[in-house]
Amino acid sequence: MSSHALATPPSRLDVAGDLLTLLRDTSTEPRPDVQLEALTLAVAADLPVLLWGEPGIGKTAALNQLAASLDLPLTTVIASVHEPSDFSGLPVVGDDPAEQGVPMAPPDWAVRLVRAGRGLLFLDELSTAPPAVQAALLRLVLERRIGALRLPPGVRIVAAANPRASAADGWELSPPLANRFVHLSWTHDPEVVVRGLGGTWPRATLPRLDPDRLTAAVEFARRAVCAFLTARPPLVHRLPSSETRRGGPWPSPRSWDMTLTLIAFATAAGSDRDVLSLLVRGTVGDGPGLELLASLDRLDLPDPELLLADPAGAELPQRGDLRQAVLDAVVAAVRARPERSRWDAAWALLAHAADTGAPDLVVVPATTLATLRREEWDVPPTIERLTSAVALSRRADHAAARVTAGR
């Protein structure tokens, strides 16, 4: 009998397996990913992260890539299919509970994480977990404890949730649980999806912390958050009024502490503003986050007192909003300590600003500075140089208003 006759023809499943192998044979290419960079920094900072996104958007795939990039074993726990005792611990009655008490035994996945000493714990479907389970998760997320077991420092926690409208039997997150997470909205890039389906998926370059920038990064973060909250004390703690917004990021002392940490990490990594924006807004919310981001630009603005000491040699920012902030700060400094020499120096600085930039930026500070004049103070000659600029700006405003009214 010939060898050809003895050969076993491939089965239908073998052929199907060959086809599946070809479909899975894809390549990768480096591509910047703002979302993944923000996620990586938050994980590196040892802060719990919550990814919000529609079903099938790629949250699980991002976690798999992150775990592989960080060389961390991934443990996935579907929060909605567990009982509260699975996170708070199962009571185990010993020989003499009156003397020894009743210890709370942790689940097997927690024991495996402790034995490994490191890992990425992925709590999936968090928004479908009922309130009792969410309450049990509080201690796990904040204290890293499950029953009598404490997760080692090498374990990081990331959760994922679908918006309530697209979650099966979804619940809003309780405010105490929501305030323990860095919230990141996970979206897809159609170009990346199309290119990936064509056989080439992106490979994100993860950020690296610069050891030489650690001390400066911490100082910058502390100065940024403390200066902002000093100017905006009502934002130290503001619980949203609506139930939906309470289930997202909002400002509290806890979330401001997380924000400070994230600013330090983003600064040490040299991350751009888009990454920092995702992290800050995902921790304290859009409103306070955007205010803080705007204030970061003003941290390096020149000291008003130095400008008043040498108005002729002052170097003012070129960006209009920053220049306006500097001029307003100078006028505020004169108001705080009104003296003839300081008032004259402020007028000289406004004239310098009008000569080196847009004249309309001096209108508001000049008007305010004029109200600070005392009767015994003579009008400085510099004011005449600004009069035409102020008058021209006002005429332009009146003309614009008439055009608008005519329309």
The dihedral built from the CA positions of residue 228, 230, 231 and 232, taken in this order, carries a sign that is: positive
Cα gap 290→295, rounded to integer Å:
9
| Residues whose CB is less than 8 angstroms from the CB of residue 227 and which lie 6 or more positions away in sequence, other chains included | 295, 299
A 10 A CB-CB count for 92 gives: 12
Query: Do both 241 and 176 map to the same domain?
Result: no
Alpha-carbon dihedral angle through residues 183, 188, 192, 196, given to the nearest 10 degrees: 100
147 plus 223 within the same structural domain: no
Strand blocks (E) in 101-199 = 104-105, 118-124, 145-146, 149-150, 154-161, 182-185
The sign of the dihedral angle between the CA atoms of 78, 82, 84, 86 is negative
Across the strands, what pairs with 75?
Answer: 121
Nearest to 259 by CA among 286, 208, 225: 225
Element (H, E) at 310: none
Supply the CATH number for residue 199's domain: 3.40.50.300
* 290 and 162 inside one domain: no
Residue 396: its pLDDT value, please? 47
Whether 152 and 83 map to the same domain: the answer is: yes
Which residues does 69 contact at the CB level (< 8 Å), separation at least 6? 40, 204, 206
User: In the listed set 253, 271, 296, which residue is the last one of a domain according to the structure?
Assistant: 296
Does 388 share its domain with 368?
A: yes
Task: Say how far apart CA 116 and CA 72 lie, in whole Å.
Answer: 10
My answer on whether 247 and 386 are in the same domain is no
Residues 143 and 225 in one domain: no
Distance CA(118)–CA(44), nearest Å, equals 13
54 and 159 housed in the same domain: yes
* 407 residues of the chain, pLDDT tens digit each: 455 556 677 777 888 988 999 988 888 888 888 998 999 999 999 999 999 988 888 888 888 888 888 889 999 988 878 888 777 766 665 555 656 556 667 788 888 999 999 999 999 888 888 888 888 888 888 888 887 788 999 999 999 988 866 555 567 888 998 999 999 998 888 888 888 888 888 877 778 999 999 999 999 999 999 988 987 889 999 999 888 888 899 999 999 999 999 999 999 999 999 999 999 999 999 999 999 998 887 777 788 888 899 888 888 888 887 888 888 888 988 998 999 999 889 988 988 888 888 877 888 888 888 888 888 888 777 776 666 655 555 554 454 455 566 65
Residues ≥6 apart with Cβ < 8 Å to 133: 79, 80, 82, 83, 84, 87
Note whether residue 398 is domain-resident. yes
pLDDT of residue 164: 66
How many helices (H) and strands (E) would you count in the chain?
Answer: 20, 11
Domain assignment present for residue 111? The answer is: yes
Strand partners, 155: 119
Residue-number span of the structural domain to which 332 is assigned: 304-406
HSE-up (13 A, CA, CB side) for residue 98: 0
Supply the pLDDT for residue 394. Answer: 54
Residue 374 to residue 383: CA distance in whole angstroms: 15
Looking at the structure, tell me whether residues 87 and 186 fall in a common domain. Answer: yes
Q: Which of 368, 363, 358 is nearest to 398 (CA)?
A: 363
The verdict on residue 149 lying in a domain is yes
Contact status, residue 389 vs residue 354, Cβ threshold 8 Å? yes
- CB proximity list for 295: less than 8 A, separation 6 or greater: 224, 227, 228, 231
pLDDT (0 to 100) of residue 170: 64
Same domain for 141 and 46? yes
Q: Are residues 351 and 396 in the same domain?
A: yes
pTM of the model: 0.73
- How many distinct structural domains can be found in the chain? 3
